[in-house]
Amino acid sequence: MTPVERAGREVGVLRRDRRWSTWGDHVVLTQNAAPTRRQLMCIALVDAGPPAALASHTALEIAGFADFSRECAQIHVVVPRGARCAALPGLRVHESRRLQPDDLVLDGGLTRTPVARSALDAAAWQPFPRFACALVSAVVQQRLCSVGDLDAAMARVGRIRHKSHLRLTILDLAGGATTTGEADVLRLCRRFGLAPPVRQVRRRGADGTVRYLDCEWELPDGQRVVLEVDGRHHLDVSSWQDDMRRERDLVVSGRRVLRATNLEVRLEPAVLARDLIALGVPRAPVVSASGRSGNHRR
């Protein structure tokens, strides 16, 4: 009996006696206990073979991401299109045409996709755009990758779910979404029949500082409603404190203040419109065919 045959026989005995266990098509685990989560990740990669890699939420987990979703319970692996991978408990396999070995990262002995691609994959592989945008924002806020990394990954990603929302989120993270936020508010007003606001209202605060209000409506009784649309920079401590001081100043001046995030304006306009209507924001006048304003919409 050759050494290889002898070794194979010994492995067979150990498996038969249930001291070792078989996982997938190519892996024998030298224990009879269930594998740990990290062992299962390694088993999935070895069984699939290169260039398989941990992906999506699992790749982010290895990179140190503090996840906030149920998806992190599964182990996500990406393999080339058409590759075969055995069904393992808790494993979710994704196929990709753009899996290049040179783009992969070796992290603690496990191969994963880069953080920016992992974030976009995690965002695209689930149905809700609000969650997708929040996840991408959280990856940047946890300093796992830069906005530039996300922008470069987006340029290579091809067609994915929620792409337009993710593009606007990346623009917001870069601090350049002021005009898109205002456009979203105007779109909301047209959709729900509200009078458009006066935008970027110049106002001098109690401390003499000149500030600009995002959106303001004057109500029929003379009161004023202000909507402040917050982007990512409002999460910084200094901006947050300044925003609170600014909001107190507006309330003291008699204005009624609502605050919303760019994501809320973009993805949940009905909720925001309901709140604006409850505060008395007027309806837009209906324009007749002759061009004259008629009764307000009901």
pLDDT of residue 76: 94
pLDDT at 125 over 50: yes
pLDDT at 257 over 70: yes
Closest to 133 in 3D by CA, of 98, 184, 90:
184
Omega of the bond leading into 129 within 30 degrees of 0 (cis): no
Q: Alpha-carbon distance 265 to 187, whole Å?
A: 9
pLDDT of residue 298: 41
% of the chain exceeding 90 in pLDDT:
27
Are both 191 and 161 inside the same structural domain? no
Closest to 225 in 3D by CA, of 145, 280, 143:
280
Closest to 90 in 3D by CA, of 74, 70, 69:
74
CATH of residue 231's domain is 3.40.960
pLDDT of residue 172: 76
Are both 290 and 195 inside the same structural domain? yes
Are both 24 and 40 inside the same structural domain? no
Are both 119 and 53 inside the same structural domain? yes
Do the Cβ atoms of 95 and 83 come closer than 8 Å?
yes
Are both 68 and 160 inside the same structural domain? yes
pLDDT of residue 51: 92
Are both 70 and 119 inside the same structural domain? yes
Average pLDDT over residues 10-19: 53
The most confident of the ranges 6-20, 207-221, 233-247 is 207-221
pLDDT band at 264 (very low <50, low <70, confident <90, very high): confident
pLDDT at 268 over 50: yes
pLDDT band at 272 (very low <50, low <70, confident <90, very high): very high
Question: Mean pLDDT of all residues in the chain?
Answer: 79
pLDDT tens across 25-78, in order? 767 777 777 888 998 899 889 888 889 999 999 999 999 998 766 667 889 999
pLDDT tens across 98-111, in order? 888 888 999 999 99
Indicate the number of domains in the chain: 3
Residue 17 belongs to domain spanning = 1-34
Contacts (Cβ under 8 Å, ≥6 apart) of 225: 216, 217, 219, 255, 256, 257, 258, 276, 279, 280, 281
Instruction: Please count the CA atoms within 13 angstroms of the CA of 240 that sit on its side-chain side.
Output: 4
Q: Alpha-carbon distance 225 to 215, whole Å?
A: 8
Q: What is the three-class DSSP state of 293?
A: strand
Are both 206 and 278 inside the same structural domain? yes
pLDDT of residue 233: 41
Query: Comparing 72-76, 238-242, 266-270, which segment has the lowest mean pLDDT?
Result: 238-242
